[in-house]
Amino acid sequence: MQNAKSAQRVRVVIYTDGGATPNPGLGGWAAVLISPTHNGAQREIYGAEHETTNNRMELTAAIMALRALKYPCAVDLHTDSAYMKNAFTRGWLEKWRNNGWNTSNKEPVLNRDLWEELFDLSTKHDIDWHWTKGHASDAYNNLCDALVQKAKGAHKNENSGTPKG
């Protein structure tokens, strides 16, 4: 939902995805940043980690996308992670912070390091969170998924011990 402040900011549309196979295991993250102001110019970013989880990769994708923005923007962030979206839109993140980073069950919030960074980055932008069904008909979500697989494949090849060159 746009407010007066976000109406003055450059609008950016971001799609993110992340995953690990197995979970935990080799993980990858990806984001596609789209600038409607610049004729729909796109930027794809992605990466991988050796031993990680699906949730860490989902969070990392959003973090890396927001880090890539050079100034405060009005962001439409699309994710297939209901967990990540709901943490912001249902107030879970605020409750965790107020509870000393504990859940309502008094358990420590997993991936606190990433949640803290994502929260800090989210305060610099006006973000509208959108959920999209993964592995369905959303072309940008599917592109992110393909980039996740590409990142994982490249990471696996780099660390396979296969001689290069």
Residue among 58, 76, 78, 125 flagged as catalytic: 58
> Tell me, what DSSP letter sits at residue 130?
E
- In sequence order, what are the beta bridge partners of 124? none
Catalytic residue among 19, 80, 125, 126: 80
Residue 126 falls in the annotated catalytic set: no
58 is catalytic: yes
Among 17, 49, 76, 126, the active-site one is: 17
135 assigned to active site: yes
Active-site annotation holds for 80:
yes
Active site residue 113: no
155 is catalytic: no
Q: Is beta strand 41-52 parallel, antiparallel or unpaired with respect to 25-35?
A: antiparallel
Q: Choose among 137, 147, 141: nearest CA to 14.
A: 141
Angle of helix 112-122 versus helix 54-67 axis, rounded to 10? 30
- Judge whether 148 and 18 are in contact, CB under 8 Å: yes
Asked whether 79 and 131 are in contact (CB, 8 A), the reply is yes
Please report which helix (H) or strand (E) contains residue 54, including its range. Answer: helix 54-67
Q: Which of 18, 19, 27, 28 is catalytic?
A: 18
113, 135, 153, 158: the active-site residue: 135
Catalytic residues, by residue number, are 17-18, 58, 80, 135, 145
